[in-house]
Structure 1
Amino acid sequence: MAFRRIVDKETLDKRIAELSVSSFLNARILGFAFQRAWVFLLFLGAASSTFTLTGEAIPPQVYMISSITLCCVLFAAAMREEWFLRFNTHPIRRWMGPVLTVLGTLCAFLMFTTHIPMELTGLLCGILTGLGSGIIDLGYGEIYRNVPPDDTHIEIPVATFYAACIYATMMLMPPAATFMVAMVLPLASAYVYLTVNHVWEPGREPSVKAVPMQVSEFTWRIGACAFLVGTADSLIRQIYMHINHIAPMDFYQPGMILSCLVMMTLLVGYHLLAKDGTTRAMYKFVMFIMAFFILLLPVLAGTSVKDGTFALISYNCFNVIIWMVLAETSYTYRLSSMVVFGVGWGMVTLGVACGQIVSTWVVGAIEFTPQAVSLAALVCTLMVLWSYLFILREDDMIDITKMDEEDGADEEDGPESPSSGEGPQANHPTPFKDRCKEVAEEYGLTPRETEVMMLFAKGRTSARIQEELVLSRGTVTTHLQHIYQKMDVHTKQEFLDKIERK
C-alpha cells in the first residue's frame, strides 16, 4: 500500500525509454536557462557584491523598483492582451525586451561610478530590467504554452540547474567578466524565443487559438496561490539569513548548484515515478518539501550552518513548480499565455516583493527568541499549505472557460448528424467514418481527438463520452475545446456542417 502511487516497472521503463539527449539539452532549455541565469546574476550576484564595477551591492530599493515594474508589465499584458500582441509583433519592437534588459544591466554595472548620480542609474536599472525581463518571461510563457507537460516537467528543472551552474561559475570571475556575461544572456535568450521558436513573429498565427475565459475568477484563484507561496518563501529566507547572521554571498553562492541539483532530482524523479504526474499532484509534493524546510528553521537557528542550501532547495522548487503549473494550465486548457503567465508570474513577483517588505519590518521590529522563530515558521508553513486550496482543479477550469461542452448535445436522444444513430451507423458505417477521418486529417486532430469527435458527432453527451472512452470530465472537455479550435467552429451546428460537407 505504501507504494501504490508509484508506477510499475514496465511503465517506468517506458518513460525512461522515451527520454533522449534532447529531453535534457535543446534550444528551449538553453534559452530559458540563459534567462534564469541572468536573474540569478543580476539580483543574487548583486546582493553578493560581485556584479557592479566597484564591487558594492545594489541597494534593495532597486530590486523593489524592478519587481514592481515587472508586475506592471505582466499585469498589463494580461489585461491588454490584444494591444500587447500588436505591439510585440512589430519586426523591430519584438527585440525591445532584450534591449531594455541589456540597458538595465549596464545601469547596474555603472551604478556606483562618480560620473553618474547613483539615484538616476538605480532608478533606470530597476525600470529597464523590470520592463525587459517581463517581456522575455512572457515570451517563454508563449513557448511553453505549446509544449506538452511531459516535456515541460523535465525541461524547466533542468534549465534551472543549468542556470545555477552559470551563476556559480560567474561568481568566481571578476565583476567585469560577470557583467559581460550578464549583457549577453538576455540577447541569447531572446534569440531562442524570437528566432528559433518564432514567438510573436509578424503574420504567424498560433496553431490553436486561446479559449475565452473568466479572467477575474482565474486571477483570484491562481493569484492567491502564487502570492501566498511567494510571500512565505521570501519572508522565511530573510528571517533565516538574519537569525543566523548569514551574509548574502555566504547564503547564495555555496549552495546554489547543490540546491538546484537536489531540486532537479526530486522533480524529475517524481515525474518518472509517480502514477499521477500532473502538476497539481507535483505541487502537493513541492509544498510538502517547502513546509519541511521551513519547519527546519527553528532547528537550525543559531547553529553553525552558514550557507543557504536548505532554504535554496525550497526557493528553487517553488519557482520551478509555479512555472510548471502555469505552463501545464495554459497548454492543457489552451488558455492565453499572456493571461496565465501575466497573472500567475505577476502574483509570484508581487508576493516575493511583499515578503521582502514584511521581512524588513519584522527583522527590525521583533527580537527573534526561539518562540518568535517558531511562530514565524508556523505562519509561513500555514501560508504554504493554504496555497494548495487555491490550486485549480479540472472542474474549476471547466467553469472558468466559457465554452459550453454540452452545446447542442444536452439531450441524449436529441438531433444527431445525418449519418448518426445506431441503426444507420450499423448499416452504413463506412461513409460516416470516412468523413470523420477526412476531417481529422484535414485539421490535424490526434487519434484520441478523432474518437471524441466521432462520438460527439453521433450525438453523445460529454458524460457518455467519458463512459465509453474511460476519460475524466476535464479530459473530454479539453479534447472538445481542441477540436473546436482546430476546426475553427464555435457551435455544434457549425461542427456538424463541416462533417456533412464531406
Structure 2
Amino acid sequence: MANAGGKFSAKQFMVAMGRVNIPLVIGFALCQLWVTLCFFTPQLFPGNPGSNVYGLSLAVTALVSIGAMLRHHRFDVLLKKPAMIYGIAASAAVGTLLIPLVSGTGPWFLALTITAAVLTGLASSLFFMAWYQKFTEAGSAVDCVLSITTYSVFLYVLTRLLHAPAMSPWITLALTAATPLCAALILNRRMPPARPFPSLAVPTNVTSLNRFIVKFCFGLFATSFVSEFLRSYLLERNDLNYYSSEINLLILLFKIGCSVGIIIIVQTRRTNDFSFLYRTSFLLIMLSALLLPHIPRQEFLYAFTNAGAFLFKLVIMLIALELCQRFKASPSLVFGATRAAWSLDLLLGSSLFAVYQQFSGTYPQLLQTISLFLVVVVVVAFLFVFTERDRTSILSPQEDAETTSTQSRCEAIALHFDLSERETEVLNLVAKGRSTPRIQEELHISAHTVNSHIQHVYQKLKVHSRQEILDVVDAWQKKSD
C-alpha cells in the first residue's frame, strides 16, 4: 500500500532513492567499517597478542558511552564541533596503528596496550554517537538502512581484495587507519536537513520513552551477547576468512534484499511488516545457538547468526533514529545507551568464550550447557523483555478507529467506482481533510497533478466539490452499516 493505502510502485522506490543522502550513507558506512577492521587487526599479524586490546577497548567504550548518557546535553554540543570530530578520528587512526606493536611483555608493551585501547575505545563510542547525531539532523530511515548495508558491501569487498596471501597486512592496516579520517571529512560537511519521509509512531510521554530505551537496550544486549559468543566459537577468531568467503557473499545478497524490502516498507508506511524481520532475526539467532553443539565450527552456522543480528540491528537503528527525530530525544542519550549495551555484551560474550576455552577440557558437556543458556537468553529477550509488542509500539502506525474506518470506506468506494491507484490515495487524503499542498507533500507530486487526480475523482463519483466527496464517504458508511 502506498502512503494512504495503495500499492507500492517502482516510481515511488526511485523517488525514495533520489532523496538518499549519499555522503551520509557512505560516511557512516566507513565509520562502521573502521570499528570492524580495527578489532580484526590482530588477525593480520599471526602471533600478535593485540587481541588483548579488544576487551580493554570495549570496556572504555562502555564507560565513555555511559558518561555521554549522563551528560548528554553537553555531549550533544561537543559532538557538533569539527575540531572534536577530527580529534576523535585521529585517535581512531593512531589507536589502530598501535595494535600491531603490542607484541611483547613488560611495562612498555603494557603502556602501548592501554594507549591503543583507550584511543580506539574513545573513538568507538564518540565517533558513532557523532554520526548518530548527524543522522538525526540530516538523515532518514532509508539512509540508515542503506548505510548499514553499504558497510556490509564495503567489508566484503575489502576483505576479499586485501586478505589475499600475497597482500601485505600493512596495506590493510593503512586502509583501516584511513577510514575514520575519511569519515570525519564527510561528517564535518554541511548537509541539508533531513527530508520528510513517512514517519513512524513514538511514545507520548517521557516515562514510556525511558522505559522503552531500557527494554530495547536489553534486547540489543542479549542479541549481541549471543552473537559474540557464537562468532568467537564458530570462527575461532578468524573473522577475515569468513567475511571474504562465498558464504558471506550469499548472506550479503540476503542483506541487500532485506534492505530493499525495508525501504519499501518505510516508504509505503506498511510498518506492520517489520514483525516479519523481527521474528526472522529471533529465529535465526536462536537456531544458531540451538545447533551449536551439533554443528561445531562451521562458517555457514555463523551465517545464520550474522543474518539474524543484521536484521535486529536494522530494527534497533530505525527505532533509535525515530526516537531522536520525532520525540526529540537526545542522540547522546539514546545512542549512548545502545552503544554502552553493545560494548558490554560483546565484552561478556568474548569473556564467556574465554571461560569455555579454559574449562571445556574438564567439563565435556559444557558446550551443551552454554548452548541451552544462550537459547534461554534469546527467548527471554525476544518474548518477555523486548517483545514484538514493544517493537510495534514504535514502528507500527497508531491510527485511531475513525481513521481506519475512513480508509476502509475509501477503498470500498474506489473498488465500486473503479478508481486508479493514485486516485484512491488522493480520495483517502481528501476524506481525511488534507489540503492540496499537504497531499502534494505526502505523495511527492506536483499541485497540478493533485488537482488533476481530484478532478478525475469528481467525474467518477459524479460530484463537484470536496464537501460532496465527504458526503459520499459518509453516506457509504451508512450504506455499509
The TM-score bracket by the shorter chain reads 0.5 to 0.7
User: Which has the larger displacement, 176-185 or 388-397?
Assistant: 388-397
1:346 paired residue number? 340
2:318 paired residue number? 324
Distance verdict in 2 for CA 1:134–1:174, change over 3 Å: same
1:135 paired residue number? 126
1:16 paired residue number? 13
1:285 paired residue number? 280
User: Which has the larger displacement, 110-119 or 360-369?
Assistant: 110-119
Describe the superposition over 1:305-324 as per-residue Cα deviations: whole angstroms up to 9, x where unpaired.
Answer: 68954443344444444333
Cα distance in structure 1, aligned partners of 2:295 and 2:147: 33
Distance verdict in 2 for CA 1:367–1:279, change over 3 Å: farther
Q: Retained in 2: the 8 A contact 1:280–1:325?
A: no
Cα distance in structure 1, aligned partners of 2:362 and 2:106: 42
Cα distance in structure 2, aligned partners of 1:36 and 1:156: 8
Which structure 1 residue ranges, 5 or more long, are not aligned?
A: 200-210, 399-436, 449-467, 469-502
Query: Structure 2: which amino acid aligns with 1:170?
Result: L
Query: Structure 1: which amino acid aligns with 2:36?
Result: F
1:213 paired residue number? 206
Cα distance in structure 1, aligned partners of 2:13 and 2:357: 47
Q: Retained in 2: the 8 A contact 1:279–1:325?
A: no
Distance verdict in 2 for CA 1:394–1:186, change over 3 Å: closer
Cα distance in structure 1, aligned partners of 2:326 and 2:153: 26
Query: Structure 2: which amino acid aligns with 1:284?
Result: R
Whether 1:107 and 2:102 are equivalent positions in the alignment is: no
Q: Retained in 1: the 8 A contact 2:92–2:180?
A: yes
Q: Match of 1:272, SS?
A: helix
2:233 paired residue number? 239
Query: Structure 2: which amino acid aligns with 1:276?
Result: T
Q: Match of 1:92, SS?
A: helix
Whether 1:382 and 2:373 are equivalent positions in the alignment is: no
Distance verdict in 2 for CA 1:15–1:384, change over 3 Å: farther
Describe the superposition over 1:124-151 as per-residue Cα deviations: whole angstroms up to 9, x where unpaired.
Answer: 1110011122111001111222433244
Cα distance in structure 1, aligned partners of 2:154 and 2:94: 24
Per the TM alignment, residue 174 of structure 1 is displaced from its structure 2 partner at its CA by 1.1
Query: Structure 2: which amino acid aligns with 1:39?
Result: V
Q: Match of 2:48, SS?
A: coil
Describe the superposition over 1:439-463 as per-residue Cα deviations: whole angstroms up to 9, x where unpaired.
Answer: x99xxxx779xxxxxxxxxxxxxxx
Cα distance in structure 2, aligned partners of 1:279 and 1:192: 31
Per the TM alignment, residue 223 of structure 1 is displaced from its structure 2 partner at its CA by 2.3
Query: Structure 2: which amino acid aligns with 1:158?
Result: T
Describe the superposition over 1:246-276 as per-residue Cα deviations: whole angstroms up to 9, x where unpaired.
Answer: 8555444425444333223234335537943
1:288-327 residue pairs with structure 2 within 5 A? 288-301=283-296, 308-327=302-321
Cα distance in structure 1, aligned partners of 2:376 and 2:213: 21
Describe the superposition over 1:326-354 as per-residue Cα deviations: whole angstroms up to 9, x where unpaired.
Answer: 22332343322111110012102211111
1:336 paired residue number? 330
Per the TM alignment, residue 34 of structure 1 is displaced from its structure 2 partner at its CA by 1.0
User: Which has the larger displacement, 182-191 or 158-167?
Assistant: 158-167
Q: Retained in 1: the 8 A contact 2:295–2:301?
A: no
Cα distance in structure 2, aligned partners of 1:294 and 1:148: 33
Distance verdict in 2 for CA 1:195–1:278, change over 3 Å: farther
2:152 paired residue number? 160
Describe the superposition over 1:271-292 as per-residue Cα deviations: whole angstroms up to 9, x where unpaired.
Answer: 5379436756533332223223
Find 1:180's aligned residue among 154, 174, 187: 174
Cα distance in structure 2, aligned partners of 1:187 and 1:238: 29
Query: Structure 1: which amino acid aligns with 2:281?
Result: V
Find 2:256's aligned residue among 247, 264, 267: 264
Cα distance in structure 2, aligned partners of 1:56 and 1:357: 20
Cα distance in structure 1, aligned partners of 2:87 and 2:335: 19
Which structure carries more helix by proportion?
2
Highest RCO, 1 vs 2 (Cα 8 Å, sep ≥ 6) = 2
Per the TM alignment, residue 15 of structure 1 is displaced from its structure 2 partner at its CA by 4.5
Whether 1:32 and 2:23 are equivalent positions in the alignment is: no
Find 2:63's aligned residue among 66, 72, 93: 72
Distance verdict in 2 for CA 1:240–1:336, change over 3 Å: same
Cα distance in structure 1, aligned partners of 2:288 and 2:392: 32
1:121 paired residue number? 112
Query: Structure 2: which amino acid aligns with 1:358?
Result: L
Cα distance in structure 2, aligned partners of 1:77 and 1:384: 28
Per the TM alignment, residue 72 of structure 1 is displaced from its structure 2 partner at its CA by 1.5
Q: Retained in 1: the 8 A contact 2:95–2:117?
A: yes
Cα distance in structure 1, aligned partners of 2:71 and 2:78: 11
Query: Structure 2: which amino acid aligns with 1:32?
Result: F
Cα distance in structure 2, aligned partners of 1:8 and 1:447: 12
Cα distance in structure 1, aligned partners of 2:22 and 2:307: 25
2:87 paired residue number? 96
Per the TM alignment, residue 80 of structure 1 is displaced from its structure 2 partner at its CA by 0.1
Cα distance in structure 2, aligned partners of 1:178 and 1:295: 35
User: Which has the larger displacement, 285-294 or 69-78?
Assistant: 285-294
Q: Match of 1:334, SS?
A: coil
1:225 paired residue number? 219
Q: Retained in 2: the 8 A contact 1:232–1:380?
A: yes
Distance verdict in 2 for CA 1:107–1:329, change over 3 Å: same
Cα distance in structure 2, aligned partners of 1:37 and 1:150: 19
RMSD: 4.1
Cα distance in structure 2, aligned partners of 1:198 and 1:114: 50
Per the TM alignment, residue 32 of structure 1 is displaced from its structure 2 partner at its CA by 1.3
Q: Retained in 2: the 8 A contact 1:97–1:131?
A: yes
Number of residue pairs aligned between Structure 1 and Structure 2:
382
Per the TM alignment, residue 379 of structure 1 is displaced from its structure 2 partner at its CA by 2.7
User: Which has the larger displacement, 355-364 or 183-192?
Assistant: 355-364
Cα distance in structure 2, aligned partners of 1:122 and 1:76: 22
Q: Retained in 1: the 8 A contact 2:149–2:256?
A: yes
Cα distance in structure 2, aligned partners of 1:265 and 1:370: 41
Q: Retained in 2: the 8 A contact 1:36–1:160?
A: no
Per the TM alignment, residue 191 of structure 1 is displaced from its structure 2 partner at its CA by 1.3
Which structure 2 residue ranges, 5 or more long, are not aligned?
A: 194-203, 396-433, 444-473, 475-481
Per the TM alignment, residue 375 of structure 1 is displaced from its structure 2 partner at its CA by 4.2
